[in-house]
Amino acid sequence: MHGTPEARALHAQYPAIDLHADSLMWARWVGYDLQERHEPPLPLAALGGHVDVPRLREGGVGAQFFGLVSLPIGQRRGLAAVVEEQIDLLEQAVRARPGRLVKALTAEDIEAARARGAVAALLGVEGAHALEGDLDTLARFARRGVRYLGLCHFTANEACYPAYGSGRRDGEGLTAFGREVVRLAEDLGVIVDLAHINRAGFLDACALARRPPMVSHTGIAGAFEHWRNIDDDQLRALADRGGCAGIIFCPLYLGGNGLAPVVKHLVHIINVAGEDTPALGSDWDGFIIPTRDLRDAAHLPLLTDALLRAGLSERVIAKVLRENVMRILSDNPLPTRLPVA
């Protein structure tokens, strides 16, 4: 067991919510079993093997958002079909061990999972290229329980341009289709995720937003300058719309290994954008080597210990662990009835 009794007590009271792990990608490629305990590849815990239900429970994680990746790596059919396959795999994992992992849509579902002693699993698409230029695909994803849509990944798509990668155009914001996607996502209760998008598109989406957006996994340029990280103006624009930013656990974007850089990025968010803005966005299983102290989900209480040592109050830590994401879920309510294709 990792972490002090004080940290573990906080996780018991405020089970953490992580905004991004790519475990379903590995389930699709190599049959990775979310229900079985794995050991991350040592010594670097490289690339994957960071998340499973036993280690989520050990680490005091109450809810995990699973990213639905549809880059052409290993692709068998169209991009939307790849997303659907990963949703199928999550549902299979839920059925395999009833009561340990439950598919969730709302803050209320997360609380219900907690009451049952289960981990809640939520879904987010990484990149609007998965829509294949069709708004009806977004509605279909919403009907299957997708709760956020990342507008971009490492390639340009019909909606926007990446901060880095193929098709990069730094001066261009959302396309006309991208603006339609943002509007429809909000109507469907799908949170707009601004990870990976270029600065112009990010600010466009914040200006357009009627409901709180998020950045599911990112670093902060004010803590460490890097193309992957968002700047203070982006943070303020996000906070002005009531959004949150999940801090990634990758040293490459944090500017160093260990817990101190993670704390530095979280504290910078608080100082610039307020305590309602920071969250956790590990990017576990996402082709990253996580910072050594957070090499898998079981180690998350070590970060809570570090936040306590940094002088953060229990109230603020509760927001970082859980409450900010719960609020954003509630502020992006599902419609009474989703449209039928």
- DSSP code per residue over 166-219: BT--TT----HHHHHHHHHHHHHTPEEE-TTB-HHHHHHHHHH-SS--EEEEE-
Tokens representing residue 235 in the block: 């943070």
Cα 31 versus chain centre, distance: 22
Nearest to 330 by CA among 207, 242, 236, 220: 242
Q: What is the pLDDT of residues 32-67, one digit of tens each?
A: 899 989 876 655 556 678 999 999 999 999 999 999
pLDDT confidence of residue 294: 95
Q: From the centroid of its chain, how far is CA 184?
A: 20
Domain contains 263: yes
Number of domain units in the chain: 1
Write out residues in the chain with pLDDT < 70, as ranges: 40-47, 72-77, 338-341
Identify whether 339 is part of a domain. Answer: no
In a domain, 315, yes or no: yes
pLDDT score recorded for residue 207: 98
Q: What CATH number has the domain bearing residue 301?
A: 3.20.20.140
Indicate whether 340 belongs to any domain.
no
Q: Cβ distance 295 to 51 under 8 Å? A: no
Longest dimension (CA), the chain: 52
Angle between helices 23-30 and 79-96 (to 10 degrees): 90
Rounding to the nearest 10 degrees, give the CA dihedral for residues 53, 317, 216, 86.
10
Residue 340 pLDDT: 55
- Looking at residue 336, its pLDDT comes to 84
In a domain, 194, yes or no: yes
Tokens of 77: 């059919």
State the burial class of residue 214 (Cβ atoms within 10 Å of its Cβ: 0-12, 13-18, 19+).
buried
Question: What range defines the domain where residue 222 resides?
Answer: 5-331
Show the CA angle centred on residue 114, arms to residues 195 and 29, nearest 5°.
50
What pLDDT, on a 0 to 100 scale, did the predictor assign at position 95?
A: 95
Among candidates 340, 309, 323, which has minimal Cα distance to 188? 340
pLDDT at 76: 42
Separation between Cα atoms, residue 188 and residue 176, nearest integer Å: 19
Q: Residue 98: exposed, middle, or buried by beta-carbon count in 10 A (0-12, 13-18, 19+)?
A: exposed
Cβ–Cβ < 8 Å for 68, 84: no
Q: Looking at the domain assignment, is residue 336 inside a domain?
A: no
| Residue count (the chain) | 341
